[in-house]
A and B are shown apart, each in its own frame.
Chain A
């Protein structure tokens, strides 16, 4: 494996300026994500998790510091980076097939061959026979799987997952976690997940990074032991050491809140 990290943040600062004030949202965060890694960011709301993803995705420029993807400074959105939002945001006026092909359309790669590949991905996700349907005809879990296919269609090697399970019911969420982790491994993708759900973070990740807020900083990093890492997310929760780890992460999060009050 190449030793160039997929993502590298060096002393990154982000200041948000509004009419009322300028606030320091992120304070000198440094972060490295290696090829094939699955890293989760957890922390209280307002700790800048989504801001970090936006900077890596090229939607937002850092105020100071360096944001690099594959060793080059991020200038803007790139086809090598995929982004999944909290909700599916499928376009209601497009069929499922046209929805999943929007990325190919926008990057000018919409060939018959890639379209077929994308429709085949739909089938792999258990969504055969949905191509000609409209989003409102699908359940929430199916729609989020469609959104996953839409993200994978342009073949990004880094996926930014911004709480993609938070709007789903518990059962669907567990199923989708398994599906996403399996897909990431199978296609050898690197992923950064933002989540509120600690047990989810531990179950799916190789590393969990706890952030604190006001301003956003890295508080602590947990490396997930092999036993939990290698199990499917659903079973990872039953592995030895899972509960202890959960408590440790929990304590760190609690500490961030105590620090404020």
Chain B
């Protein structure tokens, strides 16, 4: 049976209307976001130029972007950016990997899970940054100490999250494997690990944010290179334009990295 044309048109037009409304809302939201951004920078610029705020402390956008432009042109920013991005990537990948391995280990060996439980709780409650001096002493002031700081922040929380996801897998899926005579490794690879992909991918995303904390703090403490170092350096020589320009860079690079991982997550899910 075909619907008469008259009956179809109002329905289609309702759908069109709905789509247009959604589109309009999207545009209004984006417009508002843009206005806020422009207003913020404009206000900052005006406030700086008219000396409403202390330029020495807060700088203003045209100086900041000039600084970024110059640093890029003369190439002085790249080693810092490269070092920080490298440390962050190593940090969140390694953090997720080690955290998942540890989760697999305590899933496999329940006795270990029981024994390690209080240690993990204590370690997880600690402000890991406080361990910074130990890492510097242990690994020397450099790349290793920074990565270690990052891992101290990411590994345990990853372990706890992924282990919980392992345990939340419906035991009936495990039963399906067991009735066919599947062994523990079959249960792990074919069910537990596979069912936890979404959880692992989402810890990967969380770890991007945590890795940035670890890397910047690590660089504050030890390094001679990196964006965290630039912030501390700018602070010490009272060059706040440098501090601000570094913060802008971090915001941009961290967002790009997060979006890349989020994209990866959507693809792999």
Q: Is B181 a contact of A77 with CB atoms below 8 Å? A: yes
CA distance A82 to B176 in the complex (A): 10
Q: Is A201 an interface residue (CB 8 A)?
A: no
Given A76-B181, A77-B181, A79-B181, A85-B176 contact (CB < 8 Å): yes
Return chain B residues, CB-CB under 8 Å to A117. none
Binary contact track B158-180/A, C-beta < 8 Å → 1, others 0: 00000000000010110111111
Return chain B residues, CB-CB under 8 Å to A76. 181
Q: Is A82 a contact of B179 with CB atoms below 8 Å? A: yes
Q: Is A103 a contact of B180 with CB atoms below 8 Å? A: yes
Q: Is B191 a contact of A106 with CB atoms below 8 Å? A: no
Q: Is B176 a contact of A89 with CB atoms below 8 Å? A: yes
Near A by CB (< 8 A), chain B positions 176-200 give 176-182, 186, 190-191, 194-195, 197
Q: Is A78 a contact of B172 with CB atoms below 8 Å? A: no
Q: Is B172 a contact of A85 with CB atoms below 8 Å? A: yes
Q: Is A234 an interface residue (CB 8 A)?
A: no
Closest to A162 in B: B175
Q: Is B175 a contact of A85 with CB atoms below 8 Å? A: yes
Q: Is B180 a contact of A89 with CB atoms below 8 Å? A: no
Given A89-B170, A89-B173, A106-B186, A83-B194 contact (CB < 8 Å): no
CA distance A164 to B172 in the complex (A): 13
Return chain B residues, CB-CB under 8 Å to A106. 177, 180-182, 186, 190
CA distance A147 to B137 in the complex (A): 58
Closest to A154 in B: B180
Main secondary structure of the interface of A (DSSP, over half): loop
Q: Is A87 an interface residue (CB 8 A)?
A: yes
Partner of A102 from the list B170, B190, B195, B197 (CB cut-off 8 Å) is B190
CA distance A57 to B179 in the complex (A): 7
Near A by CB (< 8 A), chain B positions 242-256 give none
Size range of the chain B interface in the assembly: 10 to 19
Partner of B172 from the list A79, A87, A107 (CB cut-off 8 Å) is A87
Residue from B177, B178, B181, B190 with most neighbouring chain A CB atoms (10 Å):
B181
CA distance A82 to B172 in the complex (A): 15
Q: Is A83 a contact of B179 with CB atoms below 8 Å? A: yes
Near B by CB (< 8 A), chain A positions 36-61 give 57, 59
Given A87-B172, A91-B173, A59-B190 contact (CB < 8 Å): no
CA distance A81 to B180 in the complex (A): 8
Residue from B170, B175, B176 with most neighbouring chain A CB atoms (10 Å):
B176
Q: Is A170 an interface residue (CB 8 A)?
A: no
CA distance A104 to B186 in the complex (A): 13
Partner of A59 from the list B179, B191, B194 (CB cut-off 8 Å) is B179
Given A85-B172, A91-B173, A77-B178 contact (CB < 8 Å): yes
CA distance A39 to B251 in the complex (A): 68
Return chain A residues, CB-CB under 8 Å to B191. 91
Closest to A151 in B: B179
CA distance A81 to B179 in the complex (A): 8
Return chain A residues, CB-CB under 8 Å to B178. 59, 77
A160 to chain B, nearest CB (A): 8
Residue from A77, A79, A106, A150 with most neighbouring chain B CB atoms (10 Å):
A106
CA distance A106 to B174 in the complex (A): 13
Return chain B residues, CB-CB under 8 Å to A150. 176
Q: Is A93 an interface residue (CB 8 A)?
A: yes
Q: Is A91 a contact of B194 with CB atoms below 8 Å? A: yes
Binary contact track A146-168/B, C-beta < 8 Å → 1, others 0: 00001000100000000000000
Return chain B residues, CB-CB under 8 Å to A57. 179
Near B by CB (< 8 A), chain A positions 71-130 give 76-79, 81-83, 85, 87, 89, 91, 93, 102-103, 106-107
* B→A interface (CB under 8 Å): 170, 172-173, 175-182, 186, 190-191, 194-195, 197
Given A77-B178, A89-B173, 20 more pairs with CB closer than 8 A: A59-B178, A59-B179, A76-B181, A77-B179, A77-B181, A81-B179, A83-B179, A85-B172, A85-B176, A91-B176, A91-B190, A93-B194, A93-B195, A93-B197, A102-B180, A103-B180, A106-B186, A106-B190, A107-B180, A107-B181
A-B contact pairs, 15 of them (CB 8 A): A59-B175, A59-B178, A76-B181, A77-B178, A78-B181, A79-B180, A89-B173, A89-B175, A91-B191, A102-B180, A102-B190, A106-B177, A106-B180, A106-B182, A154-B180
